[in-house]
Amino acid sequence: MKRLYYLFSGTQYAKSISDDLINSGIDEGQLHFMNKDVAALEAQHVHRTNILDEKDIQHSGTYGALIGAGVGLLFTFYLLATDLGTFMTFPVFLFVCTIFTFFGAWSGGMVGISNDNHHVARFHDAIEQGDTLLMLDAFNDNEEDQLKEVMHSRHMEASYEGEEKDFKTFF
């Protein structure tokens, strides 16, 4: 999947952009409008971003889980090297690693909820100044061409800000 980024001033163009893209055959779920004035986007009746698009919960949580799993492995190996090692069965080993992994994921998610999503962090200043970020998901080359055609021919008010090839939510 490829994600395309467009910025435009305010929210007044959001409905017309959304309608044009949907009328050209793009699914509403592929459109993600982001603005600091959520009420203005709701008034336009467009598909807004959700908390997972806005905050870095998944990305940070994934890294937290990986770090937690590593720490859990190190801790269980340490326990194996001590006198407690004689009591360590495989289910106990697995339980300890799982607890550390879940704690790492939770901790990472808590860090992520206080940070902008790493995919949209570069647009933070523009969004704070009142601009609207439009993220468009293209699942193949034909959709990408269709999205670009509609945006570049009908909506000059939106500036093309780049794209992410092989877009993945978690990394």
> Is residue 171 predicted with pLDDT exceeding 60?
no
12, part of any domain: yes
- CA–CA separation, 125 vs 133, rounded Å? 11
**pLDDT value of residue 101:** 98
**Tens digits of per-residue pLDDT, 82-138?**
988 888 889 999 999 999 999 999 999 999 999 999 999 999 999 999 999 999 999
**pLDDT value of residue 84:** 84
Residues 83 and 44 in one domain: no
Domains of the chain: total: 2
Residues 47 and 61 in one domain: no
Token pair of 78 as six digits: 């340490």
> What is the model's pTM?
0.84
- CA–CA separation, 49 vs 118, rounded Å? 14
Residues 48 and 124 in one domain: yes
pLDDT confidence bin for 167, thresholds 50/70/90 = confident
CATH number at residue 19: 3.30.70
Residues 105 and 82 in one domain: yes
Residues 106 and 123 in one domain: no
171, part of any domain: no
170, part of any domain: no
- CA–CA separation, 102 vs 27, rounded Å? 35
What is the domain range of residue 77? 57-113
169, part of any domain: no
- CA–CA separation, 125 vs 122, rounded Å? 8
Residues 63 and 51 in one domain: no
Residues 103 and 69 in one domain: yes
pLDDT confidence bin for 169, thresholds 50/70/90 = low
Residues 139 and 155 in one domain: yes
66, part of any domain: yes
**Tens digits of per-residue pLDDT, 124-162?**
999 999 999 999 999 999 999 999 999 999 999 999 999
100, part of any domain: yes
**Tens digits of per-residue pLDDT, 9-55?**
999 999 999 999 999 999 999 999 999 999 999 999 999 999 999 99
**pLDDT value of residue 47:** 94
Residues 144 and 123 in one domain: yes
